[in-house]
Amino acid sequence: MSDKGQMLKINLTDQKTERLTISDEWYRDYIGGEGFAAKILYDHLEVGLDPLSEKNMLVFTTGPLTGTKAPCSGRLCIGFKSPLTGTIGMSNVGGHLAPMIKKAGYEVIIVEGKSDNPVYIYINDDEVVFKDASHLWGLDTEKTEDRIREELGNEKVRIAEIGPAGENLVKFSAIMIDRHRAAGRGGAGAIMGSKNLKAMACFGSGQLHVDNMDSMNEFAEKARQELKDEAFAAGALKPFGTPSFMDSINALGLLPTKNWQHTTFDAMDTLGHVAYHEHLNVKPWACFGCPIACGRHTEIKDGEYKGESGGGPEYETLGAFGAKCYIKDLNAIAMANYICNRMGMDTISTGQVIATAMEWYEKGLIDDKTTEGIPLEFGNAESMVEMVRHIAMRKGYGDVLAEGSYRAAEKIGKNAQDYVFQIKGMELASCGVRASKGEALSHLISARGADHLRPFASVIDAFGYLEPELGINEKVSPFEDSNKKWVKPFMELSMLTNLLGVCLFASITLAVKGSTWTGLYNAATGNQENLTNMLKCAERVINLERMFNAREGFDRKDEKLPVRLSKEPAVDGLGKGNVANEAIMLDEFYEAMGWHLDTGLPSDEKLQELGLQ
Amino acid sequence: MSDKGQMLKINLTDQKTERLTISDEWYRDYIGGEGFAAKILYDHLEVGLDPLSEKNMLVFTTGPLTGTKAPCSGRLCIGFKSPLTGTIGMSNVGGHLAPMIKKAGYEVIIVEGKSDNPVYIYINDDEVVFKDASHLWGLDTEKTEDRIREELGNEKVRIAEIGPAGENLVKFSAIMIDRHRAAGRGGAGAIMGSKNLKAMACFGSGQLHVDNMDSMNEFAEKARQELKDEAFAAGALKPFGTPSFMDSINALGLLPTKNWQHTTFDAMDTLGHVAYHEHLNVKPWACFGCPIACGRHTEIKDGEYKGESGGGPEYETLGAFGAKCYIKDLNAIAMANYICNRMGMDTISTGQVIATAMEWYEKGLIDDKTTEGIPLEFGNAESMVEMVRHIAMRKGYGDVLAEGSYRAAEKIGKNAQDYVFQIKGMELASCGVRASKGEALSHLISARGADHLRPFASVIDAFGYLEPELGINEKVSPFEDSNKKWVKPFMELSMLTNLLGVCLFASITLAVKGSTWTGLYNAATGNQENLTNMLKCAERVINLERMFNAREGFDRKDEKLPVRLSKEPAVDGLGKGNVANEAIMLDEFYEAMGWHLDTGLPSDEKLQELGLQ
């Protein structure tokens, strides 16, 4: 096995595989992970490609830290052109598959083409087998994992699979890993569905090569200590997982409630993190090499769904099915979450789509006839759960909602788009923007559409973290539209975690320092990089993704907030009275990025600086 | 362990247990099984008792052949006063629990009283433990079995349990055994629910005593050979299970289609036994000691419910959710069946209740407002499946239907009862009566309400079996209202199987002879009985049950067919143009039984003859 690993190219049309070497220049310029995925997609996808055509690719990439002793190093990046947005699609997911891919000897797996019949791929070290999946087509993700493990007679295999939502080409369907970790955003599941690819199972027996194990041990210990020392990671994420965000985001006036009509939700007695841990049977769950173990495996303790269990609901799911849909019933939210996992569907988009439809219903834009008898009122937990099922199966009105809220609104016409919360076609996550302008900017500028993770700027806005390493030296008000230049280095640090194959959550509160990541990278690869160069690579990938989108026709006109957030002052919470002024934020940020103010596209100088001309 | 076993009395109120010896007279007069249950209920239940009060009893009985080498000897009888009918309730179920009870040293277990909090009982040989079941309350039957096995650390334990339907006191809720065998008819599940008893688990390490093993082996071999030699048991039941009835009962014009509007259903391409075995993944499943293995474990192969699995659907379930509800979708029927098993609910009553509601909906007696938006049209598979869930959880209109079709019709008034198919409050099974007058009579006279099993007379009607041993020496037309006296000995033979603890299906086509059963009984007990005396015991139990009902107010007036069957000529099938004239049948049958023609109650002479005065 090469210490630089290999790139495995799998063509489903003719069931051929090819092994390619990754060039030194790629490693130098793009590091790995999302960098490689962006480069491959930019170089190989033709402009204007239908995302559901066989020419689309699924690019699975690991990073140089994936599977090493670096903490939180189980991340896998999946790149594709998104059927939801038409932009570059990047989904990042934890679990244990990414390290297994590396142990099988690969850093990148490209899947292209389309199978005539349902298949799954079994990668067993050097061997790649195409296996019939006709009998698995239609099975939910949990059953699919069980069957494949049984069929392969290998308990240790790690699997990425789709459920019925991906098969049904739901535009926000997910690829699921380890039963309940979701590569959720952007519709990667539908790409697998369109290729007749039910699953990719992988087993590797190799050992990872690390250049300098002593140095790796030293920096890994440093990173673990940084995670222990940081209050949020150690005091909130570890003991309470992402549900701990619920209370803080609500307190900050950032919780989009009743489809963003309010910014706080009087429901912490059922949806707060204490209630969550009391009302559900909860077990923490860790991805590969993670000392935080923010994942939650839950079981419903009472009521109609008693005994149902699965991964999550994570914070975003509580926000999407809870706050946005105005539902206080934790059990129903957990059930909706389990269904999404089993069907293979992004909970964030699913919840937002339903919340939007609930407001259409409230405003009389749709009615019982539209929904085929489902009373889609805010707060109706039963209707919400039923609609989740309908979307996954494209039943009744679920077939329309499965196209995403933007397309569903187009079908209604009138003022339906006023209640849609999307940017570039992607539904917003549960993080408000009128009390965190950094968050507003994150959503606006992200390549994959509305994005709360690149970076998770509200964390910096809310807690006022400073980071001299990144040049973030003074606190600024989260309510100010100006002074958002700090988002640039923070965004680069976030992207860097995606290039390295480690988890954003280790960096989200600047727990693990950029310099520590750099030390780990040098130990793993034998390079002698510094943080500045690493962040430059991250900037390169950000610009490359922007160029991908530019040639698909995206520019400044597409970086627009939903009208309620930019025009209607918040009615409650810390941001009460505020709107988000996107023009101010974008002008300032484009300038910091070296992007043209009129188009938002990289200047020639910037491209030259990054070697992207 | 006594060779006559013991009677274990468990009081849930004070958590006391008592061991009682069964008298020789009981063995002589009632043999065992349903005989003991009837005797205990008759002797101990006060007249007019509310079936859901703590004074009601659950009497679990085994028979002298239970657990022996006699074929099909895994039957358990459960006696109680029925909350659905107010009559004596008798549910008979297979699986492996009954032999386990005997191996623990008991022939009879009586459960009485009521626990303050949910409990389950663990019978481990001599030890009886009351265990908290608060954490199990609300769990479905499959999860309940899994948890209890895990908690007790004993994989071999056999369990009777209820699901949410029993907890919710659904009037036709079932006790489930071995995950998917149902003690379904009459609402035994609600009795457990009313007592806060979630489950009864049993493990026994003892050996059964058989008086003459050589003779047992000889007669067991004879019985097995008789099963092999009989065409229906060997040629239909064994290879195709109860779904094999579907085609024959349809061909005979006995399939109640569209709530009995038709007697044949043009759906054998999806619901017939060949389709069943093609369209579902099917594995045969056997109860204790059964060479037939008529049980079917199935898995849905495609569509919305793909990968769902469980026991059944058996013939009656195909009839109830399929023919009666006018649904051709086998997958939806299987799904409804799995839900019933998980919720713990009788599929026969559930399907008939929904079919009746579908006709109310068709006739405008109820509408979407009543059903809270569920379009309850004939043939609407989705509505059917949803209503099954609603009934189990008593949600919306399901709460009304959970009371059974008779009470639900009372609530509507008008002519709603015209579309109800019940006798003594019990919904009819899927066996028509206008082309099988023997079957009509079976339904009419049964102690537990409309009953297709005591005896399954349509089999004799249809195939014209003769049985000199029973005095059945000449064929009669199934369409004739007269000449139904043969039902008496056939009913006694059916009852005899319930006294012995063996399966009716071994006797249903007279495969295993009454004399063979008698030989097995003598081998097991060391007695020297003849068939005549055995049938006399059966007759005694039939009369004792009738006396139980008589003191609750039941008499001839309650033995009335649904109006469509007695007044409206069949529109199609072999019985086209026929009605069933209950007066003729009852007069003749009462006379044969020694019952008063006016009241239908046993004459003093008959009671004296049977020692029941």
d(Cα B30, Cα B521) in Å, to the nearest integer?
A: 13
- pLDDT tens-place string over residues A411-433: 999 999 999 999 999 999 999 99
Contact list in B for residue A141 (CB cut-off 8 A) is: none
Burial of B15 (0-12, 13-18, 19+ CB in 10 A): middle
Q: Residue type for B276, please?
A: Y
Q: With an 8 Å Cβ cutoff, are B307 and A143 in contact?
A: yes
Q: With an 8 Å Cβ cutoff, are B393 and A304 in contact?
A: yes
Which token pair is A388?
């989740």
d(Cα A128, Cα A146) in Å, to the nearest integer?
A: 20
Q: With an 8 Å Cβ cutoff, are B140 and A303 in contact?
A: no
* Count of H-run helices and E-run strands, chain B: 26, 17
Confirm or reject contact between B139 and chain A (CB < 8 A): yes
Which 8-state DSSP code applies to residue B67? T
Burial of B477 (0-12, 13-18, 19+ CB in 10 A): exposed
Confirm or reject contact between B377 and chain A (CB < 8 A): no
Angle between helix axes A514-525 and A531-551 (nearest 10 degrees) is 90
| pLDDT value, residue B91 | 97
Which token pair is B283?
């594995």
Q: With an 8 Å Cβ cutoff, are A138 and B302 in contact?
A: yes
- pLDDT tens-place string over residues B114-126: 999 999 999 999 9
Mutate to test the interface with B, among A136, A141, A143 (most CBs of B within 10 A): A143
* DSSP 3-state of A502: coil
A89 beta partners? A80
φ, ψ dihedrals at A373, nearest 5°: 90, -5
Searching chain A, which residue's CA lies closest to the CA of residue B369? A373
Confirm or reject contact between A304 and chain B (CB < 8 A): yes
- pLDDT tens-place string over residues A99-119: 999 999 999 999 999 999 999
| pLDDT value, residue A4 | 46
pLDDT at B101 over 70: yes
Q: Are B233 and B506 in contact (CB under 8 A)?
A: yes
Q: pLDDT confidence of A5, banded at 50, 70, 90?
A: low
| pLDDT value, residue A233 | 85
Q: With an 8 Å Cβ cutoff, are A139 and B303 in contact?
A: no
Confirm or reject contact between B375 and chain A (CB < 8 A): yes
- Residue among B561, B586, B566, B588 nearest B578 (CA): B566
Q: With an 8 Å Cβ cutoff, are B307 and A375 in contact?
A: no
Compute the average pLDDT of residues A542-554: 98
| pLDDT value, residue A2 | 41
Searching chain A, which residue's CA lies closest to the CA of residue B374? A373
| pLDDT value, residue A275 | 94
Confirm or reject contact between A377 and chain B (CB < 8 A): no
CA-based radius of gyration for chain B: 22
- CB within 8 Å of B153: residues ≥ 6 apart: none
Same fold, A7-203 and A244-427: no
Contact list in A for residue B135 (CB cut-off 8 A) is: 301
Confirm or reject contact between A221 and chain B (CB < 8 A): no
Contact list in A for residue B375 (CB cut-off 8 A) is: 373
pLDDT at B1 over 70: no
Least Cα separation, residue B360 to chain A (angstroms):
19
Domains of chain A: which residue ranges?
7-203, 244-427, 437-510+530-610
Least Cα separation, residue B60 to chain A (angstroms):
28
Topology annotation, domain B244-427: 1.10.569
Q: Tokens 């009879």 sit at which residue?
A: B108
Confirm or reject contact between B374 and chain A (CB < 8 A): yes
Q: Where are the alpha helices (DSSP H) in B195-267?
A: 213-229, 231-232, 238-240, 244-251
Query: Count of CB contacts below 8 A, A vs B?
Result: 33
Q: Which residue has the higher pLDDT, A236 or B342?
A: B342
Q: With an 8 Å Cβ cutoff, are B306 and A139 in contact?
A: yes
Searching chain B, which residue's CA lies closest to the CA of residue A373? B373
| pLDDT value, residue A510 | 87
Q: pLDDT confidence of A613, banded at 50, 70, 90?
A: confident
- pLDDT tens-place string over residues A238-266: 999 999 999 999 999 999 999 999 999 99
Contact list in A for residue B374 (CB cut-off 8 A) is: 373
Angle at A406 between CA A403 and CA A409, to 5 degrees: 95
Q: With an 8 Å Cβ cutoff, are B140 and A307 in contact?
A: yes
pLDDT at A452 over 90: no
- CB within 8 Å of A266: residues ≥ 6 apart: none
Q: Residue type for A110, please?
A: I
Least Cα separation, residue B168 to chain A (angstroms):
11
Pick the CATH number of B7-203 from 3.40.50.2300, 3.30.2130.10, 3.60.9.10, 3.40.640.10: 3.60.9.10
Q: With an 8 Å Cβ cutoff, are B138 and A302 in contact?
A: yes
pLDDT at B5 over 80: no
d(Cα B34, Cα B27) in Å, to the nearest integer?
A: 12
Percent of chain B with pLDDT over 90: 93
Write down the mean pLDDT value for chain A: 95
Contact list in B for residue A302 (CB cut-off 8 A) is: 138
Confirm or reject contact between A303 and chain B (CB < 8 A): yes
Which 8-state DSSP code applies to residue A79? E
Least Cα separation, residue B421 to chain A (angstroms):
29
Mutate to test the interface with B, among A135, A280, A394 (most CBs of B within 10 A): A135
Confirm or reject contact between A206 and chain B (CB < 8 A): no
- Residue among B191, B112, B79, B92 nearest B544 (CA): B79
d(Cα B136, Cα B191) in Å, to the nearest integer?
A: 17
Q: With an 8 Å Cβ cutoff, are B303 and A138 in contact?
A: yes
pLDDT at A3 over 80: no
Compute the average pLDDT of residues A582-603: 96
pLDDT at B394 over 80: yes
Write down the mean pLDDT value for chain B: 95
d(Cα A502, Cα B216) in Å, to the nearest integer?
A: 71
- CB within 8 Å of B28: residues ≥ 6 apart: none
- CB within 8 Å of B316: residues ≥ 6 apart: B242, B347, B348, B429, B430
What are the C-alpha distances in Å from A216 to residues A208, A233, B75?
13, 22, 66
Q: With an 8 Å Cβ cutoff, are A307 and B135 in contact?
A: no
Compute the average pLDDT of residues B369-379: 95
Q: With an 8 Å Cβ cutoff, are A303 and B373 in contact?
A: no
Q: With an 8 Å Cβ cutoff, are A138 and B373 in contact?
A: no
Confirm or reject contact between B132 and chain A (CB < 8 A): no
* DSSP 3-state of A336: helix
d(Cα A530, Cα B432) in Å, to the nearest integer?
A: 85
Contact list in B for residue A164 (CB cut-off 8 A) is: 304, 306
> Given phi > 0 = left and psi -120 to 50 = alpha, else beta, which region is B312?
left
Compute the average pLDDT of residues B498-511: 92
Contact list in B for residue A137 (CB cut-off 8 A) is: 306
Q: With an 8 Å Cβ cutoff, are B140 and A374 in contact?
A: no
- pLDDT tens-place string over residues B558-583: 999 999 999 999 999 999 999 999 99
| pLDDT value, residue B155 | 93
Confirm or reject contact between A278 and chain B (CB < 8 A): no
Pick the CATH number of A437-510+530-610 from 1.10.599.10, 1.10.10.10, 3.40.710.10, 3.30.360.10: 1.10.599.10
pLDDT at B291 over 50: yes
Searching chain B, which residue's CA lies closest to the CA of residue A146? B307
Q: What is the pTM of this model?
A: 0.84
Angle at A543 between CA A538 and CA A546, to 5 degrees: 130
Distance of CA B544 to the CA centre of its chain: 19
- Residue among B422, B376, B419, B420 nearest B397 (CA): B376
Which token pair is A448?
């994959």
- Residue among A387, A332, A355 nearest A170 (CA): A387
Confirm or reject contact between A301 and chain B (CB < 8 A): yes
Which 8-state DSSP code applies to residue A308? -
Choose the weakest-confidence range: A213-227, A393-407, A476-490, B399-413: A476-490
Contact list in B for residue A368 (CB cut-off 8 A) is: 373
Q: pLDDT confidence of A454, banded at 50, 70, 90?
A: confident
φ, ψ dihedrals at B456, nearest 5°: -85, 70
Contact list in A for residue B143 (CB cut-off 8 A) is: 307
Searching chain B, which residue's CA lies closest to the CA of residue A138? B306
Q: pLDDT confidence of A223, banded at 50, 70, 90?
A: very high
